[in-house]
Amino acid sequence: MKALVLESYNNLVYKDVPEPEYLPNEVLVRVKACGICGSDVHGMDGSSGRRNPPLIMGHEASGVIVETGSDVKAFSVGDRVTFDSTVYELNDWYTLKGKYNLSDNRKVLGVSPKEYRRHGAFAEYVVVPEHILYKIPDSVSFEQAAMVEPIAVSAHAVDLTPISLMDTVLVVGAGMIGLFLIQVLKLSNAGTIIAVDLDDKKLELARKFGADHTFNAKDEYLQQSILSLTHNRGADVAFEAVGIGATVKMAIENVRKGGTVTLVGNLAQQVEFPLQAVVTREIRLQGSCSIAGEYDKVLEMMEKGLIDVDSLLSVKAPLSEGAAWFKKLYDKEPGLNKVVLQP
């Protein structure tokens, strides 16, 4: 089969590779669409430490089942499916507690840290276990279904965060996750939503998707502006959707005393943050990792037209052109949001 392989850092090659073999509890999926995630772009140059070559990346995908293992019961050849990005054991202690995203044995599709290598979906075929599969509603396209994963990441973060009725919520970072956070927050208890980013074009999208107020992060009066919107207290809740020190600090500084900051971005492996401000202002600081069962909810939202993914789908391109599109995203070409590759 053909696949886009990270042969070495910054070197993606479209080439022939062996078709993957599947176990009795697994299915072989003919990939129809696979989105390029920001983590793939950063993984390409080795900066994340989680995509060691050689590797087939890609975890935001959809397709059609073409073969099934002997133990597969709930799915059949021909089913249109998408799948979780996390492969986990069903008998893991965390899985049994409803937190499979924290499973000791979890493996992420298209990821290869030192502990494991799990090839992903930038290929004609991918193998996944039955228990991470989800059927795609008839009204949802393969390209749209390839974007369920980042929406589910956002939905998990919102699920995890205590948001009281009409709370003011700050979203720091209006990239893909930040923009989906805003859309999910519009369906939640949130009252006023404030978005911050360095890119004015992204802030335009943030307003389109429901942000009540937007500010450029370079605005020297940013903190005063947020205070003026929040009875001089700060936001009740903040979501950090970048993952670097400056934006973590910004989120912490702009919530009220006793507020909550949920960290979703994880671009940097380590950051400094204002410890004394967190302690003395009694701020709840928590991480949000991946997804823990939100796929069904997101597919229902998409089926009902409650989430707009089409406005973020910039390009549909053949997998054979994948290296060029990775380069455009890596170089931060203006106007590019989600690029979906089609094997």
pLDDT digit string (tens) for 262-298? 999 988 889 998 999 999 999 999 999 999 999 999 9
pLDDT tops 90 at residue 334: no
pLDDT tens digit sequence for 149-206 = 999 999 999 999 999 999 999 999 999 999 999 999 999 999 999 999 999 999 999 9
Q: What confidence score (pLDDT) does residue 99 get?
A: 96
Q: Using alpha carbons, list the distances in angstroms from residue 98 to 48, 102, 132, 292, 340.
A: 28, 9, 14, 7, 31
Residue 8, in any domain of the structure = yes
Q: Is 105's pLDDT higher than 90? A: no
Query: Do residue 65 and residue 157 come from a single domain?
Result: no
Query: 3-state SS of the chain: helix, strand, coil percent to 5?
Result: 30, 30, 40
**Residue % of the chain over a pLDDT of 90:** 93
DSSP string covering 115-131, please?
Answer: S--B--SSBSEEEEEGG
The pLDDT, as a whole number, for residue 48 is 77
- Quote the pTM value: 0.95
Do 165 and 210 lie in one domain? The reply is yes
CATH of the domain at 75: 3.90.180.10
pLDDT above 70 as % of the chain:
100
Task: Kindly report the CATH number assigned to the domain that includes residue 276.
Answer: 3.40.50.720
Please check the confidence at residue 9 and state whether its pLDDT lies above 90. Answer: yes
Q: Which pLDDT does position 207 carry in this prediction?
A: 98
In a domain, 331, yes or no: yes
Do β-strands 169-172 and 125-129 pair in parallel, antiparallel, or remain unpaired? unpaired
Question: What letter represents residue 274's amino acid?
Answer: P
| Average pLDDT over all residues of the chain | 96
Judge whether 106 lies within some domain: yes
- What is the β-pairing status of strands 26-35 and 284-287? unpaired
Phi, psi of 66, rounded to the nearest 5 degrees? -115, -20
Least confident of 42-46, 82-86, 280-284: 42-46
What is the model's pLDDT at position 277? 95
In a domain, 78, yes or no: yes
Specify whether 101 is located in the same domain as 139: yes
| Overall number of domains in the chain | 2
Q: Is residue 299 part of a domain?
A: no
Q: Are residues 139 and 158 in the same domain?
A: no
Amino acid at 29: V
Give yes or no for a contact between 102 and 289, defined as CB atoms under 8 angstroms apart: yes
Q: Residue 89 contacts by C-beta under 8 Å, 6 or more apart in sequence?
A: 95, 103, 105
Q: How confident is the model at residue 338 (pLDDT cuts 50, 70, 90)?
A: very high
Q: Tell whether 105 and 183 lie within a shared domain.
A: no
Token pair in block for residue 256:
């009220």
Give Cβ neighbours of residue 287 (< 8 Å, ≥ 6 apart): 262, 263
Domain that holds residue 256: 152-287
pLDDT band at 49; cut points 50, 70, 90: confident
The reply to whether 81 and 178 lie within a common domain is no
pLDDT at residue number 268 = 84
Q: Is 104 left (phi over 0), alpha (psi -120 to 50) or beta?
A: alpha
173 with 272, same domain? yes
Q: 170 and 137: one domain?
A: no
Mean pLDDT score, 50-69: 96
Residue 294 in domain: no
| Same-domain pairing of 16 and 104 | yes
